[in-house]
Amino acid sequence: MSYFVINKSEDLSGVIKVQGAKNLILPLMAAALLSEGITIFENCPDISDVRYTIKILEGFGCRVDFYDSTLSIDTRGFNPCNIGSKYSEKMRSSFLFMGALLSKCKTAKLSMPGGCNIGRRPIDIHLKAFREMGVKIAEDRDEIFADARYLRDAYIKLDFPSVGATENVILLAVKSNVHIVLDNIAREPEIKEMCNILNKMGAKICWESDSRIEIYGVDKLKPVRARVMGDRICAGTYITAVGLCGGDVIISGIDNNSLLGMSDIFLRMGIEITNNSKDSIRVRCNRRTTNLTSIHTEPFPGFPTDIQSPLMVLASVSMGTVRLTENLFENRFRIVNELNRMGADIKVENNVAIINGVDSLRGTDVRATELRGGAALVLAGMVANGVTRITGIQYIARGYENILNDLNKIGGKIVCHME
C-alpha cells in the first residue's frame, strides 16, 4: 500500500507545468478508433485513466505506444469485440466507446461504466439522444446492447448540458450518414478542442452558437497528429495551493481563457491571477483569503464541480462563512468528515456545505475515496500544522500525473511511502 506523508508548506515559489487535459485525451482516444492508421497525441498525461483506456484499445486489437507524453494509436488491427467489465467498471469514460463503436461497427455491447463514487451519474441522457438518432437499445443490469444500423437525421436538445452525452453523440454522428443538430451541448473548452481535432481528421462539425452545433456525417476520417491542451482542473488545483500556502508561482501550459468560471472566484477571495505569457499564468497570494457569501457549481462557464473539493479546503481556512452548493453530484462532499477531523468547521445540509473559516487545520491520518477529494486532501495537508498521512492515493493517480513532484517543485513537503 502506498500513502503520502505531508508536512506544512509556506510561501510557494517557482514554475510548475500542468499536464495534458484528462477530460480531452479520453474522448480523443475513443475518436482515434474512427480513423484508419496511426493517430498521435502529444502532451498526453500519464494517468491511470489513460492506462486503463490503453488496455481497452489493445483489447480491440489496436497497437498503442505511449512514451514521453506521446501517445500513438494504430487502428489498422482493429477487431470488434466487447469492452470487458474489468476496465469499464473502473472508469466512466469507457462509455464514450459506445458512440465510436456504433459509428464504426453499427452494433455494440458495453458493461455499465464505473468510476469515482461521487454519486449518480446516469447515462440516460446519452441513451435518450441515441434513441432520437434511431439507435435501438436494450439494457439489463450489467450491460447495454445498441444497434445503429438504421440511423436518421435528428434535432436533439439535451435535457442537461452533459459533457459525456455531448461527446458520445458527436462520436456517433461524425462518421455516419446523418445530419444532426445538437442543442444545449456542454460548452467546456475540452468539447470545443475535441471538435477542432475531429474537423482536422475530416469531420464536418459547425458551430451555430456556443451551445449548438450541426454535424454532417462523413464517410472517412484520417489520422492526425494533435497536441492535448493543458488541464484546467489541474491548474485550478495548483492555484488553490498558492491560495492556501501563499507565494508567487508561475503555472505554464495553461492560459487564463481556460479558467473561466473559477478564476473570478479565486480573484474575489484574494488570489491574484495574471497572464504571464501566451500559455502561462502568474499566481500570487500574500494574505489570508476571504470567503464569499455563496458559491455554487454549475456547467461551464460556471464554477466547475471538479474544483469544488479543493475550494472547500481553501474556504475552511479563509475568513468568514460561505454556503457552497453542489448542483451536479450529490456525493462531492465525501471529504467533509476528513476535513472536520483536521479541525475544519463544515456542516452539510442536503447539497449545501456551510463552511466557517478557522484559523488553521491540524495534520492527522485521512483517506482519499475519490479523485478530486483526494487531491483536496493533499492541499489540506500542505496547510495543516503537523503531519498529515493520506491513504487511498490510487484515486488521485486517476487524474494527476504526478501531484507529488509538481507540488514539491514549488515548495511542497510531500513524501510517498510504500508498505
Catalytic residues: 116
d(CA 185, CA 206): 13
> Rounded to whole angstroms, how far apart are CA atoms 86 and 81?
14
Q: Which residue has the cell 494527476?
A: 400
Length of the chain: 419
Please, which residues have CB within 8 angstroms of residue 196's CB and are 6 or more apart in sequence?
Answer: none
Q: Which residues on neighbouring strands pair with residue 214, listed in sequence order?
A: 181, 206
| Alpha-carbon span 374 to 233, nearest angstrom | 13
Q: Which residues of 37-61 are buried (b: 16+ CB within 10 A; e: fewer)?
A: ebbbbebbbbbbbbebbbebbeebe
Distance CA 401, CA 68 (A): 12
CB 84 within 8 Å of CB 119? no
Instruction: Please state, in angstroms and rounded to a whole number, the distance separating the CA atoms of residues 123 and 102.
Output: 16
Residues contacting 53, CB < 8 A, separation 6+: 26, 29, 30, 87, 91, 93, 94
Task: Using alpha carbons, select from 178, 119, 129 the residue that is nearest to residue 149.
Answer: 178
Q: Kindly state the DSSP code that residue 33 receives in the 8-state scheme.
A: G
- Tell me the C-alpha distance between 264 and 262, whole Å: 6
Return the closest-CA partner of residue 42 out of 81, 84, 73. Answer: 73
Whether the bond into 299 is cis, omega within 30 of 0: no
Reported as type and span, the H/E element at residue 275 is strand 272-277
Nearest-angstrom CA–CA distance, 336 and 312? 9
Contact in structure between 146 and 130 (CB atoms under 8 Å): yes
Q: What is the 3-state secondary structure (H, E, C) of 364-395?
A: CEEECCCHHHHHHHHHHHHHCECEEEEECCCC
Give the whole-angstrom CA distance, residue 8 versus residue 361.
10
